């Protein structure tokens, strides 16, 4: 028996579940579905974002609906238009093998007449934002006087957004005998108030700790001087070439500005905030979903609707005013069982706030260092090599090959590789070679004694199954040294960095001179960027700032970085390319 059948779901939904590829129920689904199927009860279910709450209420709701009747039987209230549409789509998917079941979305910013028409045709389930729902009730375009089920999804968010009055008034139009199902990531006082006020002896289920973030998310902070915030952001992006991220700013103005700067600097970025029209926001979200945008810069309010899986990084460009908001921000990554990283850029005076956040999320942060230019160059170089290895050959080129071969005839494979990498990479290297250390100097002496420490590069990484803890263990074993002597273990996709006390340098190089892991040679080299602030770093260049950098034609970041031709062709082409790219980035 399929694991969903055990929960008591019928054939039509099981078929849809198989189609969607869900293999086993998530915890909240496992807990909520049997209760909701078997009992007519109110429920309060607390589970973090990305834990599958939609199906937890969606499956039982669909089972309970009588699809032969056209009466509206279920109402789902959700905070934003985005979510509203997403829930509607999900429900349509779940019920695709149930003929006659109709789910209609009701939200602001679109024609109310069209929505009314859809309702009139018969909608057993309505998914609505509170504002528009209220509006339609006032105009008597909907009838919810017979519903049996009312779902309050993301109740905390709805209350955050000031929908209390609307919810209150909407519920007054529903029958007393209905069941109310409340789903929320967090349980602030306001949510308990709603529960007390509108629900009768609700069953309460909790998945994970109340108020904590997803366990798949790791939390990091970086201390920089305030004026280096933007430069630090770019370094973080450059050190993670496959980044797919949401960047949070405090104000609309900062959001707009950071996004504009990123676009100027050649990143695939866009802004999402309340001053954009609904249409503009929809376009931005569409490009983000399609991965045309890698860095979405957003305000907290605008980001509430973002429910995109696979976000690799959340970057807190600034900490939120309300520390509680951090949970919502970091919940944008680590969804659907994937892991994610939430990074916070802070100035020295804000470091103490990290402690408050830790208390709320009940997890600790790791203090990390903004990567140096040297480190980023290494990351990018290997990323490029891996991209080349993975890319499929385009046979359109075949007909030109003979003449291309002629041009390159005199070079060996080694020479060709060197030349190819030089073409693609020099820009990057030139940009970063004069970069300075962006980490704010820790006056208290800090945890890092970087004098007397050596940094190494090692050619194993995540794809070999390592994370920083397992790599540290591996190194401890291989070298036979204590973990005190190992620091700053930083694991990337296909390689990593670590530090040891300089006294161990010979040992390290000796052991890894001829070291094999599962038949493969493990290679360790001293990273050129061996100190942190030990005086060997150049502090003169400004590396991190735009403007200066743009004069050398370098476009850091963005998928197109290595395949655009702007550094190879003539200046005219270069400008045209760049303009074209800018235009399309802004769209």
Interface with Mg ion (CB under 5 A), residue total 1
CB closer to ligand ADP, 309 vs 525? 309
Question: Nearer to ligand ADP by C-beta: 275 or 309?
Answer: 309
Least distance from C-beta 214 to ligand ADP, angstroms?
9
CA distance 328 to 48: 9
Q: Is 581 in the site for Mg ion (CB under 5 A)?
A: no
Task: Specify the residue, 51 or 564, whose C-beta has the smaller distance to ligand ADP.
Answer: 51
- Identify which of residues 115 and 184 has a Cβ nearer to Mg ion in the complex: 184
Does position 425 interact with ligand ADP (CB under 6 A)? The reply is no
Are the CB atoms for 306 and 332 separated by under 8 Å?
yes
| Contact flag: residue 375 with ligand ADP (CB under 6 A) | no
Residue 50 or 79 having the CB closest to ligand ADP: 50
**Contact residue for ligand ADP among 31, 44, 52, 461 (CB under 6 A):** 52
Query: Least distance from C-beta 153 to Mg ion, angstroms?
Result: 6
Residue 371 gets which letter from DSSP? P
Among 228, 307, 437, 566, binds ligand ADP (CB under 6 A): 307
- Which partner, ligand ADP, Mg ion, none, binds residue 51 by CB below 5 to 8 Å per kind? ligand ADP
Instruction: Examine residue 328 and tell whether it contacts Mg ion (CB under 5 A).
Output: no
Q: Pick from Mg ion, ligand ADP, none: which does 385 bind, CB < 5 to 8 A by kind?
A: none
Least distance in Å: CB of 87 to Mg ion? 7
Q: Which is nearer to Mg ion, 53 or 234 (CB)?
A: 53
Indicate the angle between helix axes 53-64 and 11-20, nearest 10 degrees. Answer: 150
Considering only residues 40 through 99, tell me which ones interact with Mg ion, judged by CB under 5 A: 53
According to the binding rule CB under 6 A, does residue 336 interact with ligand ADP?
yes
Region of 48-56, 115-123, 141-149, 494-502 interacting with ligand ADP (CB under 6 A): 48-56
Q: How far is the CB of 332 from Mg ion (least distance, A)?
A: 12
Contact 496, 460 (CB under 8 A): yes
Question: Taking a C-beta distance cutoff of 8 angstroms, is the pair 139, 67 a contact?
Answer: no
CA 453, CA 105: separation in Å to the nearest integer?
60
CA–CA separation, 336 vs 486, rounded Å?
34
The CB-of-285 to ligand ADP minimum distance in angstroms stands at 15
Is residue 309 near ligand ADP by the rule CB under 6 A?
Answer: yes
Distance CA 518, CA 565 (A): 40
Residue 31 touches Mg ion, criterion: CB under 5 A: no
Sequence-distant (6+) residues with CB within 8 A of 461 are 491, 492, 493, 494, 495, 496
State whether the Cα torsion 15-19-20-23 is positive or negative.
Answer: positive
Q: Which among 370, 375, 247, 366 is positioned nearest to 317, based on CA atoms?
A: 247
For residue 262, give the nearest of 227, 238, 234, 243 by alpha carbon: 234
Q: Is 55 helix (H, G, I), strand (E, B) or coil?
A: helix
Shortest Cβ distance from residue 78 to Mg ion (Å)? 8
Q: Both tokens of residue 86?
A: 């997403």
97-106 own/partner pairs: CB under 8 Å, 24+ apart: 97/11, 97/12, 97/13, 97/15, 97/16, 98/12, 98/62, 98/67, 99/67, 100/67, 100/68, 101/62, 101/65, 101/67, 101/125, 103/127, 106/132, 106/133, 106/136, 106/142
Residue 300 beta carbon to Mg ion: minimum distance, rounded to whole angstroms: 17
Please report whether residue 453 would count as binding ligand ADP according to CB under 6 A: no
- By CB under 6 A, the residues from 53 to 72 that bind ligand ADP are 53-55
Q: Name the residue nearer to Mg ion (CB basis): 86 or 435.
A: 86
Query: Look-up: residue for tokens 């020479």?
Result: 415
Residues that bind ligand ADP (CB under 6 A): 22, 25-26, 29, 47, 49-55, 307, 309, 335-336
Residues that bind Mg ion (CB under 5 A): 53
């Amino acid at each position: 028996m399929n694991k969903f059948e055990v929960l008591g779901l019928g054939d039509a939904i099981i078929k849809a579940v198989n189609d969607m590829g869900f293999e086993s129920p998530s915890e909240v689904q496992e807990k909520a579905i049997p209760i909701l199927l078997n009992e007519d009860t109110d429920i309060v279910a607390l589970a973090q974002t990305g834990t599958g709450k939609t199906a937890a209420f969606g499956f039982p709701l669909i089972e309970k609906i009588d699809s032969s009747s056209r009466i509206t039987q279920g109402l789902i209230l959700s905070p934003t238009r985005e979510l509203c549409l997403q829930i509607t789509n999900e429900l349509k998917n779940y019920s695709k093998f149930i003929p006659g079941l109709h789910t209609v979305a009701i939200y602001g910013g679109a024609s109310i007449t069209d929505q009314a028409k859809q309702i009139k045709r018969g909608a057993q389930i309505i998914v609505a934002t509170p504002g528009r729902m209220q509006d339609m009730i006032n105009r008597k375009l909907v009838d919810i006087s017979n519903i049996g089920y009312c779902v309050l999804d993301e109740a905390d968010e709805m209350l955050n957004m000031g929908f209390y009055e609307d919810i209150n008034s909407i519920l007054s139009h529903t029958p007393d005998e209905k069941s109310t199902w409340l789903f929320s990531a967090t349980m602030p006082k306001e949510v308990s108030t709603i529960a007390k006020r509108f629900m009768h002896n609700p069953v309460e289920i909790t998945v994970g700790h109340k108020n904590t973030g997803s366990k798949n998310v790791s939390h990091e902070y970086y201390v920089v001087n305030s004026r280096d915030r933007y430069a630090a952001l770019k370094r973080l992006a450059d050190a993670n070439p496959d980044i797919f991220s949401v960047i949070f700013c405090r104000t609309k103005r900062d959001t707009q500005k950071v996004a504009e700067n990123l676009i100027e600097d050649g990143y695939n970025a866009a802004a999402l905030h309340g001053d954009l029209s609904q249409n503009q926001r929809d376009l931005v979200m569409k490009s983000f979903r399609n991965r045309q945008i890698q860095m979405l810069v957003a305000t907290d309010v605008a980001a509430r609707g973002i429910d995109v899986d696979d976000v690799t990084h959340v970057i807190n460009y600034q900490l939120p005013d309300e520390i509680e908001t951090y949970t919502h921000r970091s919940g944008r990554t680590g969804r659907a069982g994937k892991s994610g990283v939430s990074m916070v850029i802070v100035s020295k005076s804000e470091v103490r706030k990290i402690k408050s956040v830790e208390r709320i999320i009940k997890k600790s942060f790791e203090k990390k260092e903004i990567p140096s230019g040297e480190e980023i160059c290494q990351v990018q170089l290997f990323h490029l090599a891996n991209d080349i290895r993975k890319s499929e050959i385009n046979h359109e080129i075949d007909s030109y090959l003979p003449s291309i071969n002629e041009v390159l005839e005199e070079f060996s494979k080694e020479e060709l590789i060197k030349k190819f990498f030089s073409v693609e990479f020099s820009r990057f290297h030139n940009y970063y070679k004069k970069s300075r250390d962006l980490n704010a100097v820790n006056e208290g002496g800090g945890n890092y004694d970087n004098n007397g420490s050596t940094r190494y590069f090692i050619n194993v990484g995540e794809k070999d199954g390592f994370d920083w803890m397992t790599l540290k263990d591996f190194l401890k074993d291989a070298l036979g040294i204590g973990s005190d002597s190992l620091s700053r273990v930083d694991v990337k996709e296909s390689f990593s960095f670590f530090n040891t006390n300089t006294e161990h340098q010979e040992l390290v190089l000796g052991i890894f001179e001829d070291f094999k892991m599962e038949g493969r040679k493990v290679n360790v080299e001293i990273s050129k960027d061996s100190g942190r602030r030990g005086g060997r770093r150049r502090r003169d260049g400004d590396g991190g700032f735009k403007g200066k950098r743009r004069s050398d034609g370098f476009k850091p970041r963005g998928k197109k970085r290595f395949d655009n031709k702007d550094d190879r062709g003539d200046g005219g082409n270069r400008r045209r390319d760049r303009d074209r790219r800018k235009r399309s980035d802004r769209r």
